[in-house]
Structure 1
Amino acid sequence: MSYAISWASWPFFAAGLMPRMEFLPVGPLAAAVIVIAVTEGRSGFRAWGRRLIRWRVGWVWYAVALLLPVALVLVSGFITMAFGAAAAPGLEQLTWSGLLTVFAVRLVNPLDGPLGEEPGFRGYALPLLQASRPPLLSAAILGALVTLWHLPLVLFLGLSVIGLPTTFAITLLYVWLFNRSGGSVLLTLLFHNSQGTFTVGAFGFTAADAGRAELIYFLAVVLAVLATVVLDRQAWRKAPRSATAVGRFPLRMRGR
């Protein structure tokens, strides 16, 4: 359903009835609302809602959610410059007020990635996957689904091809953060928002330097994922109960 909603304009574009393909990031959010309403009702919305607003987590996870994406971008940008890229002109144009404005708008806009994706992919799909699978396998499955969901952005809207494997890799970081925060969609929403507010594109690299920066960013994300797997193995063995859908369904839904 997420695919159907987000890709809804693709057939019309292919038939020449629309001038361009319009990708709708709200698909996962809308799909979660529809599926919960049809299959679970109020009890499902209550469980889903608790995950969406779960804010009582350690401060360190807020720091991870907000600062890890920034750190990955900064490391990627400075390594790119160390390989000979011109000094980043884009950074001179950034202002705190501008960044905070973008961050605030993206946080509440369902037609943007964070609010459009997180309640559906991490808030609904991931707990279902983790109810019967270990976190690493769940992350791999979700990563593949989320990556393919982004395909129209590469085919029609200019996203670099390296964005697809990057999406798969960073999904594992989302899963790790979701589980370590006890199943908090709020934390993954902040992570997603931080990731999209300050990007490698902010450095202003052009031509080959821009492509090199995106590749380095992908490698930085992969290294961050490997660090969680090696240094925090416990997080990948079993998801906490609060990050799964176990015990959430009404009796009539169990066993379907």
Structure 2
Amino acid sequence: MARFTLWLQHHRLSAFFVLAYAISWSSWPLYAAGLMPQMEFLSVGPLVAALVITALAWGKAGFKAWGRRLIRWRVGWVWYAVALLLPAVMVLVTGFTNVAMGAPLHGLGDLTWSGLLTVFAVRLINPLDGPVGEEPGFRGYAVPLLQTGRPPLLAASILGILVAFWHLPLVVFGHLSLIGLPSTFVITFLYVWLFNRTGGSVLLTMLFHNSQGTFTVGSFGFSRADLGRAELIYFVVLLVAASATIFLDREAWHPAPRPAVGLSPRR
């Protein structure tokens, strides 16, 4: 057992991704073999993987190091504004640009503040949804390890590829359009930027993720060609936003702040 723990400590990053993929994709082979009526993508995979690897490799001390990032809330009000409002601003820019290009506007009138707040609240505590299922794992566990010995840009690039590919079953089974994969890669840079700028706060990336999924391009009610064009516009908006953080806030990208680097309790 001691040898296994030592091995896991030296491979805790690769072990995390293998386990996260295995859990999230677990129903794919069962569906392919005709043993399940449909493929169920389990977004809780990264959370469970982080819990399991931390427990096996580091125990109580590891959970303390990981847990501090999950509840880091003293980051300044401006970062709360960024986490909550930037996703909505990017969606609004996308939607109204699409409307200016000829798409009809008829979906926003169906939205209500109570409805949005209800969706936001439920997603914030639902482990089977993206914010809780992904952020403690991808940002809270993987990013600090990726940034150990690597510059943040390289860490974000590696994570972006792995997280985008993790979403592949959603594309294969028609729950996500193909443009969603490069969009996921690009938005990963925004997540890493926010994570580093808040000293490694998973709470803030969860709020960002939650806001991103509560008010979406789909909220505009676009369909068919208009929806496809909106998704392309959104990709460009993401690319502009991510590029702005890289070129206008270079300090955030070298090096990563110490609280956002490493996971070992010895650090």
TM above 0.5, yes or no, is yes
Q: Is the 8 A contact 1:65 1:187 kept in 2?
A: yes
The corresponding residue for 1:22 is: 40
Q: CA deviation at 1:155?
A: 0.4
Q: Is the 8 A contact 1:114 1:189 kept in 2?
A: yes
Which of 142, 153, 162 pairs up with 2:179?
Answer: 162
The corresponding residue for 2:158 is: 141
| Counterpart residue type for residue 96 of structure 2 | F
SS at match of 1:183: coil
Q: CA deviation at 1:157?
A: 3.9
Distance, in Å, in 1 between the alignment partners of 2:40 and 2:200 is 31
Pair 1:217-2:234 in alignment: yes
The corresponding residue for 1:79 is: 97
Matches within 5 A, 1:57-136: 57-86=75-104, 88-136=105-153
Pair 1:35-2:53 in alignment: yes
Pair 1:208-2:216 in alignment: no
Distance, in Å, in 1 between the alignment partners of 2:254 and 2:156 is 12
Distance, in Å, in 2 between the alignment partners of 1:76 and 1:231 is 22
In the superposition, the TM-score normalised over structure 2's length comes to 0.92
The corresponding residue for 1:197 is: 214
Distance, in Å, in 2 between the alignment partners of 1:5 and 1:101 is 28
The corresponding residue for 1:174 is: 191
Count of matched residue positions in the alignment of Structure 1 and Structure 2:
249
Distance, in Å, in 1 between the alignment partners of 2:261 and 2:61 is 15
Q: Is the 8 A contact 1:106 1:112 kept in 2?
A: yes
Distance, in Å, in 1 between the alignment partners of 2:74 and 2:241 is 25
Q: CA deviation at 1:26?
A: 0.3
Q: CA deviation at 1:212?
A: 0.3
Distance, in Å, in 2 between the alignment partners of 1:172 and 1:48 is 21
Distance, in Å, in 2 between the alignment partners of 1:152 and 1:71 is 28
Which of 52, 59, 69 pairs up with 1:51?
Answer: 69
Q: Is the 8 A contact 2:20 2:49 kept in 1?
A: yes
SS at match of 1:168: helix
Q: CA deviation at 1:207?
A: 1.2
Distance, in Å, in 2 between the alignment partners of 1:199 and 1:40 is 38
State the Cα deviation string for residues 69-99 of structure 1 (Å, max 9, x = none): 000000000000111111x211000000000
Q: Is the 8 A contact 1:40 1:250 kept in 2?
A: no
Q: CA deviation at 1:250?
A: 4.1
| Counterpart residue type for residue 27 of structure 1 | G
Distance, in Å, in 2 between the alignment partners of 1:158 and 1:35 is 29
Q: Is the 8 A contact 1:3 1:27 kept in 2?
A: yes
In the superposition, the TM-score normalised over structure 1's length comes to 0.96
State the Cα deviation string for residues 131-155 of structure 1 (Å, max 9, x = none): 1100000000000000000000000
- 4+ residue runs of structure 1 moved beyond 4 angstroms? none
Unaligned runs of 5+ in 1: 252-256
- Give the superposed CA RMSD: 1.0
State the Cα deviation string for residues 34-77 of structure 1 (Å, max 9, x = none): 00000001111001000000000011100000000000000000
